[in-house]
A = this chain, B = another copy of it.
Amino acid sequence: MIRTVIWGLGAMGSGMARRIASKPGYQIVGAIDLRPELVGSDLADLEGLSTIPRGVIVSADAQGVLADTGPDITMVATNSFVEAVLPNLEAVLNAGSNCITLAEEMAYPWKSHPEEAAALDQLAQQCGVTLLGTGVNPGFVLDTLVLLLTGVCSYVDHIFASRVNNLAEFGPTVMQSQGVGITPSEFDEGIRRGDIVGHVGFRQSIDMIADAVGWSLDEIVEERQPILSSVQRISRYARVEAGMVAGCNHVAYGTMNGREMIRMEHPQQVMPELEDVSTGDRIVIAGKPDIRMEISPEIPGGVATINLAVNMMASVLTAPPGLKTMLDLPLPHYTCLDGC
């Protein structure tokens, strides 16, 4: 049995716990979360799942849980940013546990955080374990899938990738981080204050592609603009009047010798269908040959992140030690034994 610890019981960590609980050969042996309302609870009760054995008590004492349970692998879903998640990852590696983290910036930290990446790589190798950052995006749609499609090219001139999604099902935190429902001037202020962040991970997706393809980029530029709604949009956690902000149009591009090589767009808003915008993942590779791909509707973000992380567990358990990215490991795929 593969002994697994879940660190962070938000929507992603909770979703991974539920999937791993039904995955033959895997056993959840520990759960870590700092929130007082969760600490002390039995994970089986929290998730309402009979497939989770009783007795896994949520603890805020990460070191204690890791030391007591000696996990083979730990799933870390605590934060998006390298700086914040670094101590968590170090604790996991030092405990001799393999690790998958959903921290967006960890999907490809080699360029954005070279020192932290090198240190984590070295630590993982010293501890004889593997560390992977993954998720639907970054980690799949705007990088892994893009790179796979370039595999049939003899030349790539420009890469365009966009992900148009619908935030209607998400909760208040996402609405705030994308500026849904506020005025344009409030949006500008939110950007300035850093409350409105748009998508986290453009830098990592672009770095991963550029490094794999062999492009030395001059710079990566990110721009965030409000998506103004011309109609009223009402969803469970959002109310957008006409003229107000329906979401954040976040774009990023990378240039080489002053020329744009990679462009990515990820407009996130509630109910784009009300203005005839269809959701989808689109990749256009201008090269030899040209490739135009569309997945419509888009791969749904939350469940895809959970599934991809769980589907990568077997590869991480058998990979050579060190910090890995989706570029280093064999092709991701679903396996029926993982819970069908």
Contacts and interface: CB of A to CB of B under 8 A. Distances in A.
Contacts of A46: none
A332 B327 CA distance: 9
A317 to B, nearest CB: 16
A339 B214 CA distance: 11
A170 interface: no
A129 interface: no
B155 A136 contact: no
A239 interface: no
A306 interface: yes
A242 interface: no
A145 interface: yes
B214 A152 contact: no
B332 A151 contact: yes
A308 interface: yes
Counting chain B CB atoms within 10 Å of each CB, the highest count among A145, A152, A328, A333 belongs to: A152
A308 B304 CA distance: 27
Contact of A304 (B152, B334, B336, B339): B152
A288 interface: yes
Contacts of A140: 151-152
A152 B307 contact: yes
B300 A336 contact: no
B336 A213 contact: yes
A340 interface: yes
A310 interface: yes
Contact of A154 (B156, B288, B303): B303
A331 B144 contact: yes
A148 interface: yes
Nearest to A144: B331
A337 interface: yes
- In the complex, the count of this chain's copies comes to 2
Interface in A211-237: 212-215
A154 B327 contact: no
A54 B338 CA distance: 55
A304 B152 CA distance: 5
Contacts of A214: 335-337, 340
Contacts of A147: 331-334
A212 B335 contact: yes
Contact of A213 (B288, B303, B310, B334): B334
Contacts of A329: 330-331
B295 A299 contact: no
A41 to B, nearest CB: 24
A337 B209 CA distance: 14
A148 B333 contact: yes
Interface in A148-199: 148-156
A3 interface: no
A80 interface: no
18 contacts: A147-B333, A151-B331, A152-B304, A152-B307, A153-B334, A154-B338, A155-B339, A156-B334, A212-B333, A213-B333, A214-B335, A289-B299, A289-B300, A291-B295, A292-B295, A292-B296, A294-B296, A329-B330
Q: Across the A-B interface, give the 7 residue pairs with the lowest CB-CB distance, nearest first.
A: A151-B332, A214-B336, A152-B304, A150-B334, A147-B333, A153-B334, A154-B307
